[in-house]
Chain A
Amino acid sequence: MITFKCRFPEDVPKDFRVATVSPVWRTLGLPVLCIGYCLYLACLPVTDAVRYSLIGIAILGTICGGLQLWARSVLGYGKSPHYPNVSKTADVFCTVDGSGLHFSSPDPSVVYLPEVSWDEIKSYRQIGSTLFLTSYKWAVVLVALDMDGHTLEEWRDLVELMKAGNVSEI
């Protein structure tokens, strides 16, 4: 059981937030397949009309791929991040154990969500001295833990807990 202080940073690196939406290969896999297949077919002995149609379809596939990339970036950082139990007036602490995250604060009125199970946490990344945990809804909802002043042992224990909870590094 380890207790961390929660942070509520406004600026979270964009590449991290986009990476939580989906990996690039998953976003571009299908468009690349579509374009590649159309170009392959266009190289076969086909009539000119069919060849031009195939090139047209390949162009449409390219547009679709571009739209998906745009959507990925919007879903990644189109909204500012939300943090549970955020408070400007009181400190919020997060205790981590085998069952999940438990929030507490000297001012109990700020804690509206006291517990989050590991099932709800998908991935993590450490940026500087902040450990970010993401939920299933991409990186719109985040938990940011202050790692300052915590020992390597505690970090190892936390990694073990996250492994047991199927939380992967992103």
Chain B
Amino acid sequence: MENKRVIKGHARPYRFFSRFLIAGYIVLFIPPLLLLLIILSSLLVGGEPVMGLASLIALLVYTVQLIRGYRNLSKETPGSFTASAAGIDFTGTDTVIGWNQVRKWSRKRKGILVILEAGPYRSLQTFSGQVLGHDDGFAFLLRPDINSQDKNTAYSELIQLLNQNTKDRKKGDHDHV
């Protein structure tokens, strides 16, 4: 019976907080902020609408691009998972990540962080993505559904699955180089 236990829940890519991440957000969000500042200064003076209008159009184009990029990314990103004895099945991606592909895991306040050997992405297999994925792993935060059971049971069941299936491996078994 133990082995047939299935746990469903939400999954999302986990980003480690770093200077790198902040810099990424700055590069993404400072340009629209600057365009807003130009629009604001144009509005303040009133008589100079050309620059303000041009900035408004640029801002709209940028926003559309940003939303489109986000949609493409979220289309590829799994939103939920089903964990069973076979491994972690990321819904909608047709990939089951076997337990032997779990490099590391740890309990976080908001869920369980797993570092996977392979990513559950279909087409986001870019050169840089593959190299970084190989070196750093693919980090996902798993949050079991707590609708039917209480929070602690859902978490402990998932931890139990992780424990059972990863305990045989020695530390550093899958570290490359």
Q: Is the CB of B131 within 8 A of A84?
A: yes
* Interface-side segment among A38-46, A144-152, A156-164: A38-46
Q: Could you say which residues of chain B place their CB within 8 Å of the CB of A68?
A: 26-27, 30
Instruction: Give bound CA distance, A38 to B44, whole Å.
Output: 10
Instruction: Give bound CA distance, A140 to B123, whole Å.
Output: 21
Q: Is the CB of B132 within 8 A of A82?
A: yes
- A37 contacts partner chain B, Cβ-Cβ < 8 Å: yes
Instruction: Give bound CA distance, A53 to B44, whole Å.
Output: 8
Q: Is the CB of A135 within 8 A of B126?
A: yes
Q: Could you say which residues of chain B place their CB within 8 Å of the CB of A117?
A: 127
Q: Is the CB of B127 within 8 A of A34?
A: no
Q: Could you say which residues of chain B place their CB within 8 Å of the CB of A83?
A: 131
Instruction: Give bound CA distance, A78 to B132, whole Å.
Output: 14
- B64 contacts partner chain A, Cβ-Cβ < 8 Å: no
Q: Is the CB of A57 within 8 A of B131?
A: no
Q: Could you say which residues of chain B place their CB within 8 Å of the CB of A72?
A: 23, 27
Say which size band chain A's interface belongs to: 35 or more
Q: Mark B6-46, 1 if CB is under 8 A from A, else 0.
A: 00000000000011101110110011011101101110110
Q: Is the CB of B131 within 8 A of A141?
A: yes
- B130 contacts partner chain A, Cβ-Cβ < 8 Å: yes
Given contacts A53-B44, A78-B19, A141-B132, A30 and B126 within 8 Å (CB-CB): no
Q: Is the CB of A113 within 8 A of B134?
A: yes
Q: Is the CB of A67 within 8 A of B128?
A: no
Of B18, B37, B128, B130, the residue contacting A61 (CB under 8 A) is B37
Determine which residue in A61, A64, A68, A71 has the highest number of CB atoms from chain B within 10 A of its CB, and name it. Answer: A71
Q: Is the CB of B127 within 8 A of A135?
A: yes
Chain B residues 44-66 with CB under 8 Å of chain A are 44-45, 47-48, 51
Say which size band chain B's interface belongs to: 20 to 34
Determine which residue in B19, B20, B128, B134 has the highest number of CB atoms from chain A within 10 A of its CB, and name it. Answer: B128
Of A41, A61, A140, the residue contacting B34 (CB under 8 A) is A61
Interface SS of B by simple majority = helix
- B177 contacts partner chain A, Cβ-Cβ < 8 Å: yes
Q: Could you say which residues of chain B place their CB within 8 Å of the CB of A121?
A: 127
Q: Is the CB of A70 within 8 A of B26?
A: yes
Q: Could you say which residues of chain B place their CB within 8 Å of the CB of A74?
A: 19-20, 22-23
Of A44, A50, A136, the residue contacting B128 (CB under 8 A) is A136
Q: Is the CB of B177 within 8 A of A86?
A: yes
Instruction: Give bound CA distance, A64 to B22, whole Å.
Output: 14
- B135 contacts partner chain A, Cβ-Cβ < 8 Å: yes
The residue on A at minimum CB distance from B35 is: A30
Q: Is the CB of A75 within 8 A of B41?
A: no
Determine which residue in B20, B31, B127 has the highest number of CB atoms from chain A within 10 A of its CB, and name it. Answer: B127
**What are 24 inter-chain pairs, A to B, with CB distance below 8 A?**
A33-B38, A38-B37, A38-B41, A41-B44, A41-B45, A44-B45, A46-B44, A50-B45, A53-B41, A57-B41, A61-B37, A64-B37, A67-B26, A67-B30, A68-B26, A68-B27, A70-B23, A78-B18, A82-B132, A84-B134, A113-B131, A136-B126, A137-B129, A140-B132
